[in-house]
Amino acid sequence: MNQWKNFSKGFIKENPTFTLLLGMCPTLGVTTSAINGLGMGLATAFVLVMSNMVISIVRNGIPDKVHIPCYIVIIASFVTVVELCMQAYTPSLYESLGIFIPLIVVNCIVLGRAEAFASKNNVFSSVIDGLGMGLGFTMSLTLLGAIREFLGSGKLFGYQVYSDHYGILLFVLAPGAFIVLGYLMAVINKLKKA
């Protein structure tokens, strides 16, 4: 398979958030600001790349009947590694992402890629796939977070752009996440057809 296509499919064509609609829980939950979205996306991307890599290495040594538990253990280990590192080196990001970091374990993007891709392809393609999907996810979360932060509190990546007095509070709250997600999906669909 063409590796560039393999990598770039995660951004628009098979974007996990806007096209596959996977991992909606962290998508809607943490994207109250661009930084949160970026942090969450990168954490997930790391887990995706590492778990894709390890799973495609060990895929032939694991009997079919127990492959799901094995994959989950591998994924959970990497999530815990990420969690510990964030707690140690980026405590404020760790605080603001809170419960959503351990929940990367059950993010269906990670297990979905392991099942659909890494268990059938070689190590290199799997890493590329994980990287593309992870960065695609990061891009969507950052975009969503930036729009919500800008409309809701007048900030962009923490910098005040206009007075938060005029911010539309709704966009920081859960309904705003759905509205922004809906419009972004419409835009992405348009781009795909073009």
Of the candidate residues 14, 77, 103, 157, the single one contacting other proteins (CB under 8 A): 77
- 1 contacts: CB under 8 Å, gap ≥ 6: 125
Q: Residue 69, interface with other proteins (CB under 8 A)?
A: yes
Q: Residue 172, interface with other proteins (CB under 8 A)?
A: yes
Which stretch of DSSP H or E encloses residue 104? none
Least Å distance between CB 48 and other proteins? Answer: 17
- Which ranges of the chain would DSSP assign to H, the alpha helix? 3-8, 24-30, 34-58, 67-89, 91-97, 108-113, 123-153, 174-193
Give Cα 37 distance to the centre of its chain.
8
Q: Residue 167, interface with other proteins (CB under 8 A)?
A: yes
Dist CA 41 CA 123 (whole Å): 22
Subset of residues 90 to 129 that bind other proteins, contact rule: CB under 8 A: 91, 95, 98, 120
Using CB under 8 A as the criterion, which residues of the chain lie in contact with other proteins when the complex forms?
32-33, 58-67, 69-70, 73-74, 76-77, 80-81, 84-85, 87-89, 91, 95, 98, 120, 152-153, 164, 167, 169, 172-173
